[in-house]
Amino acid sequence: MVNPEEIVRAETELVVLDDAPAWREFHERVLRRAGFGQVNSYPAQPSLLYDHINHGRGRRADLVVFAIQPQSEFSWENLRLVRGFFQGPVLATSERFDPAIRERAHGLGVPDYISVGDCGEEGLELKVETALTAFRINSLIDDNDQRTQRIFLNIMTVMVKLLENKDPYTRFHSHSVAIWSRMIGRRRGLSEEDLIRLGLAAVFHDFGKIGIPEEILNKPAKLTDEEFTIMKQHPTIARDLLSSLDLMHDLLPAITHHHERWDGRGYPAGLKTDQIPLWGRIICIADAYDTMASRRTYKEPMPEEKVLAELHRGRATQFDPELVDILVQILAEKAAEKAHEKGNGNGNGLNHTAL
């Protein structure tokens, strides 16, 4: 059995059920390349999975990947049958994301879902690992909640390190966005418990970039329209990768919608005004502020007066106007504190852009 505190890929057996040979081969190739020890694939027929588990010599399934044909009731019935006799984790997939597929799969007891055409090879690999991990976490909850929490924190640490290794800038940016989000949220009247959860959502707001090709993620020049279209997938990639973890569910709306705009011209859903989750609106403005005020590979930090001008320009178009007013007030107070410290000859005050 796989160690519940660590997914040992070489000891893990996966079964892929997909009626489309090309997609079946895609799943098999990606998962084998990712180091999963046994990957078996069949057409999406429950009887084949049943035979694999019950009649194969020493065979098992640690996770089943089931490709949904959303327009086929026969496909949904087969998923229901699989869920009926296989109690391990099942990952439903489709070529393109559809919230109706996710909702219907969840109703059949399959909470894990990913659109492989949108998330690509890295997304599929990570989703399988998080689905396996979440299953082991949930199986331990009744036995020892303290141990479960420790495992959860360890998993989160590993996931953050994966992204940091791919995009070192994210480490500093995400934690800075978390600090600014908490400051804005506190002024907005959020409870301390909500501020903790908001900060965690901010830390993971760019987690979906782990599924973005490095040549796009680290490009020093402006992205092309095609590259930007790919980059815009990162909020939904994060949603799909993190949705397996029950302890992250309340964070997903903020993570998914932190690039929506007050005027409805954002992404991924084109939400506007208070349709956008409050935490998402807070992370949006904190993210934009830190991006403008920080140095990146392709730009120097903006002068403070230009940052303020951009915040005012985005008021009630890109940003929640109330949150702009709150952030501008915070920045004015910090500027006054800095001027006071300078006037007193104290050169050790922190510049707000370094927070």
Q: What is the pLDDT of residues 45-57, one digit of tens each?
A: 999 998 888 876 6
- From residue 67, how far is each of 16, 70, 186 by CA, in Å? 8, 9, 44
**pTM over the 0.85 mark:** no
CA distance 136 to 149: 12
Token match 């996966």: residue?
14
Name 38's bridge partners. Answer: 13
Q: Which is nearest to 234 in space by CA: 208, 216, 203?
A: 208
Q: What is the pLDDT of residues 217-248, one digit of tens each?
A: 878 788 999 999 999 999 999 998 888 777 78
Categorize the per-residue pLDDT at 299 as very low, low, confident or very high, splitting at 50, 70 and 90.
low
pLDDT at 221: 82
In order, the DSSP letters of 211-277 are GS-HHHHT-SSPPPHHHHHHHTTHHHHHHHHHTT-GGGGGGHHHHHTTT--TTS--SSS---GGGS-
pLDDT at 6: 45
Q: Is the pLDDT of residue 341 over 80?
A: no
* Domain ranges within the chain, ordered by starting residue: 1-140, 165-355
203 and 174 in contact (C-beta within 8 Å)? yes
Superfamily of domain 1-140: Response regulator (3.40.50.2300)
- List the structure tokens of 210: 């782990």
Categorize the per-residue pLDDT at 16 as very low, low, confident or very high, splitting at 50, 70 and 90.
very high
112 and 243 in contact (C-beta within 8 Å)? yes
Token match 């410290």: residue?
341
In order, the DSSP letters of 275-339 are GS-HHHHHHHHHHHHHHHHS-BTTBPPPPHHHHHHHHHHTBTTTB-HHHHHHHHHHHHHHHHHHH
> Which of 182-186, 201-205, 243-247, 296-300 is predicted least confidently?
296-300
311 and 327 in contact (C-beta within 8 Å)? yes
Name 93's bridge partners. Answer: 67, 114
Q: What is the pLDDT of residues 145-186, one digit of tens each?
A: 555 555 665 666 666 666 666 665 655 688 789 889 999 999
- List the structure tokens of 224: 């092309």
CA distance 319 to 254: 14
Q: Is the pLDDT of residue 139 over 70?
A: no
pLDDT at 305: 93
pLDDT at 95: 87
Q: Which fold would CATH assign to domain 165-355?
A: Hypothetical protein af1432 (1.10.3210)
Q: What is the pLDDT of residues 69-84, one digit of tens each?
A: 988 999 999 999 999 8
Q: Considering the chain, what is the average pLDDT of its residues?
A: 83
Categorize the per-residue pLDDT at 128 as very low, low, confident or very high, splitting at 50, 70 and 90.
confident
Task: Give the other-Cβ count within 10 Å of 271's Cβ.
Answer: 20
Q: In what order do the strands lie in the sheet with 13-17?
A: 38-42, 13-17, 63-67, 90-94, 112-115
